[in-house]
A and B are shown apart, each in its own frame.
Chain A
Amino acid sequence: MGRTSSLSGVSLTRWSKVLGLGLWLVCATWWGPPLSLAADAGKLVEKDGKYVFVESMDPATKLLLERAVKQGTITREEYEAVARESQERAYLLQPSFKVWYDRGFNFSMNDNAFFLKMRFRTQIRFTQRTRNEAYRNPGEAKNFPELLGVFGDYRANRSEDSAAQFNIRRMRMYFMGHLFSPDFKYYIQMRAETAENAQAPGGLALMDVNFSSTHLSWLNAQVGQYKMFFNRSQINSTASMQFAERALVQDAFTASGLDRRDIGITVMNDEELFPVNYYFGVFNGAGPSFNRLGSFQSEEPTQGCPGGATGGNPFPSPAGCPVNQRNLNANVRLDVNKLMYVGRLMWNIMGRPGYGEGDLAYSESPQLAMGGGYAYNPSINTSSNNSFVGIDLANLNFRRQLAAFGNGRQLGLGIVDYSTWAVDSVFKYRGFSLQGEFYFKNVTRHEKGLPCMNTACTVTAPGQFGNAFGWYVQSGYYLIPRKVELAGRFAYWDPDTHSGDDLVKQSDVSLNWYLNGTYDQSIAVTYSNIQMGTGGYAVGRSAPLPSASGTVPLDVRGGTLIENLIRVQYQLFF
C-alpha cells in the first residue's frame, strides 16, 4: 500500500512538473512576445540599399571590455579582435531560419533565401432571397442554364419565391513567398468552398499555382495558373471587394469567356516602379486546371463523320458518311493547336490606386488610373455542332464554364471565336472611391449560316447571335475612415445584342464594417436587386426547337426574373 502510494507520489510529482511546464509554455505563447527563433544577439539592418547583419554584443561584456581598454588592461586591437570573434560566434550560433506570425504564418530560411507565408481566408455568408413568380415559370434557362447528364441537356433553373441559406462562400488557403531569392516568387491558392447554387459539396481544389520572376523590373514574368491580367474587377481579389459578390456582368466578360483563371505565361513591368504598366499573356484559353486536349467531340469510325448521336445520321453530316452507329465512336480533339492571347495597358495617372475596391487606405492625395484590355480566344466549342439537345456527346467542361459565368446564351452556337475588350477607370480620394468598366464581346461563329434545327436545315434559328456588351459603375464612401463604408453599384448587361427583352440590370448597396481597419476581419451587408429579361432566342430553349427536343420550349412563358437578395457576410483573413 505504502509502496503504491510512494509510486503514485513520484508519478504525481513528475506529472505536476510536466503539467506546470506545459502550462508555462501555453501562457508564454499566449501572452508572451511573438515567437522568433532568430538569435537575439543581432539584427538585420538596411544600409545603402542592402541588408547586413549587425551583431550587438552583450552590453555587460561590452562595458567591461571598453573599461578595460580605457584602463589599459587590454589594447584596442585586442578589444576589436574579441568583438569580431564574438560577432562571428553569435552569427554562427543563430539559427538560419525565423518563424513568426504577421498576417499569416511566416517561415524565413537560409537568411531569407527561402520564404513561406501561409494564410487562410474564409467568407461565411447568410443569404435571404426573394424571387418573383417568373423564377417558378419560366425560370432561368438562358444565361445560367443547368446542364444535365453526359449529353448536357439544358435545364431551366426554377425555384420558389424565397430562400434562406448559410453558405461557406469562400475558404482559401494560401502558400506564398520566394525561392532562392526574393526575386523568384511563388504563389499557391487552394479552395475548399461551395458555391451558393452548387449541386454537390465542394472539395479541395487548386485555384492558383504560379511562379514569378521579378529580376528585371521592365520584364517581369509569371507562369502557371492564375487570374489573367485583363480587366479590373477580375484581377482584384475577392478579399477587397466593396460588395459581398461581384456583379453578374463582371463575371460574364472574362478574358477567355469561360473563367477568370487560365494556364499560361504573362510578361509585364513592375507595377511599383512604372506609372504605365503593360501585361501580355498567352494561355490555353480553356479555363483553370484544364487544357484543350481535354475537350473533345464525337466522331464516327469514319473520319470526318460526326458521331455520338442516336437516332440516325446526325447533321450537318458530310456526304458519304455511313449511317450513324450507337456504340462504336471516337472522341476527336480539334483545334488543339490554338492559344489565347491577352493584353492589358494601365496608366496610373495619379498615385497608385491599385486594384482593390474602395479607399480603405484613406488616400491623402487623389489616386486615379485607367486601363484597357483585349483578349482573343479562338475555337471554343459551345456544342459539337453536329447535333443538339440530348444527343450530343462531347466533353462538357467548356459548356459548364459558359453556363456558370452567365454566358449560357452562347451555348449551341458551334465553334466560336471570342474577341473581348474592356476599359476601366478608378478614382480614390479621402475615403471616396469611384470606378467603372465597359465591356464588349464579339462572338464569331465558324459556321456562317443560321443554326439548323433539323437534318434538312429547313428550320433554322430566327437569327444569328449578336454580340454582348455591359458596364458597371460603383462608388463608395467611408462614413468612418478605414472602418465603415457605404457603397453602391449599378450594372447593365446585354448578353445578346440581336435579342430583345434580355437585358440584365443589377443594383447593389452595401454597408461594410472593417473591424480593425484592414481586410482581415470584416462584415458586409449587401442588398442586391437583379432584373433579368428572359426574352430572345437561345438554341435548344426557344422555339423553333431542334428536332427530337420536344415541342414546348423552356421559355414558352416569358417575363422578367426579379430577385432581391440580402447577403450578410463575415470575412476572416489570417
Chain B
Amino acid sequence: MNGRSQSAAMLVAVLVLIGLGCARIPYTTTVVHEDQRVAVRLQREITPAGYTHPVQISPQQMAALLRGFSLREQQRLPLRWFAEETPPKKLFREDELQVLAPQLADALQKVGSEERVYFEVFAPGMNPRYRRDVTGGWVAVHDQLLHLTIDYFHVQQPVTQSDPYDYNYPTPWTPEKTYLLYFEPGRFFLADPKTGRRSVDFREFLKTTSSP
C-alpha cells in the first residue's frame, strides 16, 4: 500500500468511525435540577420506549413510593451464594427523600414519552475533597407501572471533571452495578407485561396512601 492509498484508507476509517458516533446508551437532553445534593436529568432512550409520560405524581406521593423500596447488590458467582442472604437495605433515607422526591415529581411532569428521568443523590465521600457518595438511577412510567432502576447505591465517585483522565491516576466513574430491588407492600410490585421487569403499580399503591 503506497502512502496516498494508506492516507485515504485512514481518512475513510476516521469518517466511518465519526458516522458510527451515534448514541448507544441513553443521553441527557435536559438538566431539570442540579445542586450539591441532588441532580435530576431527562435522558433520551436509544430504542423506542413508549412511556406514558408526562405523569402527575405529587412530591408526597413520590416520597411514599420511594420509601417502599429496598435493595441489595447482585453479586457475581460464586459470591452470590453467600451475598444473596444479606437482607435488603432501605434504598433512601428520609433526608434523601426530602431532596429527591420533589425534583423527581417535577421531572415526571416534563419528561417525554421517549425519555426517562435520571437522578443522582450526593453526599460527601469518604474523603470529601476527592470523592462523593452517589446513589443514582432512573425512573420511568409505563401506564400504571413505575419503573425504578438503581445504578449506584452509595458508591464513591470522583468529584472533578478531570478525574477520568487525570495524568497521574486516571479515575473514571465506577460503572453501574446491578441491584436487586424490592418493594413493600409486595402486592403492588408486579411484572410489567411489556418488559417483563418488576415495577410498582403506583396508581393502586397511591390509593392506599392518604392524599396530599
Contact = CB atoms under 8 A, between A and B. Distances in A.
Contact of A112 (B21, B22, B24, B129): B129
A356 B160 CA distance: 15
Interface in B69-119: 82-83
Interface in B154-189: 156, 160-162, 164-175
A58 interface: no
A354 interface: yes
Contacts of B174: 517-518
A429 interface: yes
Interface string A461-480: 00000000000010111000
A362 B176 CA distance: 13
B21 A237 contact: no
B13 interface: yes
Given A240-B170, A482-B175, A430 B14 contact: no
A355 B161 contact: no
A74 B124 CA distance: 35
A355 B21 contact: no
A432 B21 CA distance: 6
A362 B173 CA distance: 11
B18 A432 contact: yes
A interface, how many residues as a size bin?
35 or more
B127 A115 contact: yes
Interface in B21-72: 21-25, 27-28, 36
B22 A239 contact: no
B124 A51 contact: yes
Contact of B161 (A235, A272, A360): A272
A354 B24 contact: no
Judged by DSSP, the binding face of B is loop
A354 B160 CA distance: 11
A392 to B, nearest CB: 38
Given A112-B127, A364-B27, A518 B172 contact: yes
Interface string A340-371: 00000000000111111000111010000000
B99 to A, nearest CB: 13
Interface in A148-176: 174, 176
A361 B168 CA distance: 17
Nearest to A119: B169
Contacts of B20: 432, 477
A174 B20 CA distance: 38
A457 interface: no
Interface in B1-19: 6, 10, 13-14, 17-18
A126 interface: no
B165 A108 contact: no
A475 B14 contact: yes
A481 B22 CA distance: 11
Contact of A488 (B13, B83, B169, B175): B13
B83 A430 contact: no
A212 to B, nearest CB: 10
A477 B165 contact: no
Interface string A499-521: 00000000100000000111100
Interface in A237-275: 237, 239-240, 271-272
Interface string A517-559: 1110000000000000000000000000000000000000000
A477 B170 contact: no
A100 interface: yes
A102 B13 contact: no
B147 interface: no
A174 B156 CA distance: 20
Nearest to A351: B161
A356 B21 contact: no
A187 interface: yes
A352 B17 CA distance: 21
B169 A490 contact: no
Contacts of A100: 126
Contacts of A115: 127, 129
Given A31-B82, A46-B128, A517-B175, A361 B164 contact: yes
A429 B18 CA distance: 9
Nearest to B157: A102
A106 interface: yes
Contact of B21 (A44, A227, A351, A431): A431
Nearest to B86: A31
A195 interface: no
Given A364-B28, A431-B24, A516-B175, A45 B127 contact: no
Contacts of B131: 102
Given A108-B126, A517-B175, A272 B160 contact: yes
A236 interface: yes
Given A46-B128, A272-B161, A356-B164, A477 B169 contact: no
Interface in A204-245: 227, 235-237, 239-240
B128 A176 contact: no
Given A31-B83, A102-B131, A44 B17 contact: no
A272 B171 contact: no
Contacts of B22: 430
Nearest to A187: B168
> Which of B129, B168, B169, B175 has the most chain A CB atoms closer than 10 A to its own CB?
B169
Nearest to B131: A102
Contact of A355 (B13, B126, B167): B167
A566 interface: no
B190 interface: no
Contact of A45 (B13, B23, B82, B124): B124
B123 interface: yes
Contacts of A482: 172, 175
A390 interface: no
Contact of A475 (B13, B28, B160, B164): B13
Nearest to A517: B175
Given A176-B169, A361-B173, A475-B17, A44 B124 contact: yes
Instruction: Report, nearest first, the 4 A-B pairs whose CB atoms are least far apart.
Output: A354-B165, A356-B165, A517-B175, A432-B21
Given A475-B14, A517-B172, 18 more contacts: A44-B128, A46-B128, A100-B126, A102-B131, A119-B169, A187-B168, A236-B167, A240-B170, A353-B165, A360-B164, A361-B165, A429-B21, A430-B21, A434-B17, A434-B18, A477-B17, A477-B20, A481-B24
26 contacts: A36-B126, A51-B128, A102-B131, A106-B127, A108-B126, A112-B129, A174-B168, A174-B169, A187-B168, A237-B168, A237-B170, A360-B172, A361-B173, A364-B28, A430-B24, A431-B21, A432-B17, A473-B10, A475-B13, A476-B17, A481-B25, A482-B172, A517-B174, A517-B175, A518-B172, A518-B174
